[in-house]
Amino acid sequence: MNMLKRTPLFELYAKYGGKTVDFGGWELPVQFSSILEEHHAVRNNAGLFDVSHMGEVLIKGPDAEKVIQYLCTNDSASMQKNQAIYTAMCYPSGGIVDDLLIYKIEEHEYLLVINASNIDKDVDWIVSQAKGDVTIENQSDRIAQLALQGPKAEAILQKLTSSDLSGITFFHFRQDVDIAGVKTLVSRTGYTGEDGFELYVDALDACTLWEKILEAGKEEGVLPCGLGARDTLRFEARLPLYGQELDKDISPLEAGIGFAVKVAKEEDFIGKEALVRQKQEGVSRKIVGIEMVGRGIPRNGYSVYASGSSEEDEAIGYITSGTQSPTLKKNLGLALIQTDFASVGTQVEVEVRGKRVEAITVKTPFYKR
């Protein structure tokens, strides 16, 4: 019996050659053509992703802003309607419940976009912490999400709408845009390090929109893309992944998303005390970029040691994500290591299947457009 969850686009995967895998309980395409081809398509042209597995939670009511301010580390006070911000949602310990996008739909209405594997946990957390006059609706099954990413994303999408997309600036969105006859929330956001859009539609319209975009983008070389390329793209751009760079035991300051923590904001928020303390005292470990000098690819969970350390010495940290960067052709990793070893240019060693291999800490993001 197949218990894996499927998105509304599942029925189309086979048509485009999608090879599916179990991704946190979801049956999702890891690739359609090849991870490398899809990766390069997004960097050079455009790629279309099904990200419908992501969760959407609508919070509305007179106290919606208050609830969001209390739940999230970023400051939503100055948000305008049709603006989005990236934030962390923390436990009192400062560990991360999830990272998410907040969309301000109306004055008292916000849409939170959360990670697929965290939907149940997040909704329980939000409901348990929310106070005041708000309603909280989990709309994850009703809303589908497509991501069109790459330098040609705007040109492709523009063919399908009369709405001037160039007017949507980074981290802003427009509601009820007619894209090929489909009512769409068009957001200039994404998780690949490229320009592009995230498109929110009714689940029933997802297949139509997917096919129309691929048809419209043929000339520009758009490719349907899977999770494999999504991971290499977000990795090169140093965008963190929950469960790897982010976790209940990792704080946003350690994870390098301190920009989304506004300890000076007026309202109290969950985790504030712990995060203020971390800011004052400094964090004892943080995420850094690692480049292999010797032969080997760093992978999630591999231990990192100080250069020249002996067998008895303890690891100074571990790799959170790693692969061979398709754009840079280097074997790169992100590692959560002791701050003493975190400055750029520090020699370290990564244990690759029992063998210590020379590496060096490097600047991130590895790739910037």
Partner 1 sequence: MSQTVSSFLYSKEHEWVEIIKGNLVKIGITDFAQNQLGDIVFVELPQEGEEITANESMGTVESVKAVSEIFSPVSGKVTQMNGDLEDTPEIINSEPYGQGWMVTVELNNPDELKELMTAEQYSAFVEEE
Tell me which residues touch partner 1 (CB under 8 A).
30-31, 34-36, 39, 228, 231-232, 295-297, 299, 323-324, 326, 331, 353
Smallest gap from residue 290 Cβ to partner 1 (A): 16
SS3 250: strand
Exposed (0-12), middle (13-18) or buried (19+): which is 279, by Cβ within 10 Å? Answer: middle
136: region left, alpha or beta (phi > 0 left; psi from -120 to 50 alpha):
beta
**238 or 272: CB nearest partner 1:** 238
Residue 300 vs 338, nearer CB to partner 1: 300
Minimum distance of partner 1 from residue 47's CB (angstroms): 15
Q: How far is the CB of 259 from partner 1 (least distance, A)?
A: 29
Helix (H, G, I), strand (E, B) or coil at 201: strand
| Residue 51: partners with Cβ closer than 8 Å, 6 or more residues away | 145, 146, 147, 198, 230
CB of 326 to partner 1, least distance (A): 7
> Do 140 and 152 contact (CB within 8 A), yes or no?
no
Residue 231, helix vs strand vs coil: helix
- Residue number, 31 or 138, with CB nearest to partner 1: 31
Q: CB 214: neighbour CB atoms within 10 A?
A: 18
CB 100 within 8 A of CB 119: no
Of 277 and 295, nearer to partner 1 (C-beta) is 295
CB of 329 to partner 1, least distance (A): 9
CA dist 72 and 89 (Å) reads 5
Token pair in block for residue 214: 């691929």
What's the min distance (Å) between Cβ of 21 and partner 1?
Answer: 9
Q: How far apart are CA 308 and CA 315, in angstroms?
A: 12
Closest distance between partner 1 and the C-beta of residue 117, in Å? 17
Judged by CB, which is closer to partner 1: 35, or 146?
35
CA gyration radius for the chain? 21
d(CA 145, CA 55): 9
Minimum CB separation of residue 363 from partner 1 in Å reads 22
CA gap 29, 248 in Å, rounded: 27
Question: Tokens 């739940």 appear where?
Answer: 71
Nearer to partner 1, 110 or 235 (CB): 235
CA 137, 72, 104: angle at the middle one, nearest 5?
Answer: 55
**What's the token pair of residue 99?**
């990272």
CB nearer partner 1, residue 73 or residue 232: 232
Name which of 30 and 315 has its Cβ closer to partner 1.
30
Task: Provide, rounded to whole angstroms, the least separation between the CB of residue 26 and partner 1.
Answer: 16
Does an H or E element contain 335, and which? strand 331-338
At 42 the three-state DSSP class reads: helix
Contact 123, 138 (CB under 8 A): yes
DSSP state of 54: S
Minimum CB separation of residue 228 from partner 1 in Å reads 5
Q: Which is nearer to partner 1, 295 or 363 (CB)?
A: 295
Q: Which is closer to partner 1, CB of 28 or CB of 35?
A: 35
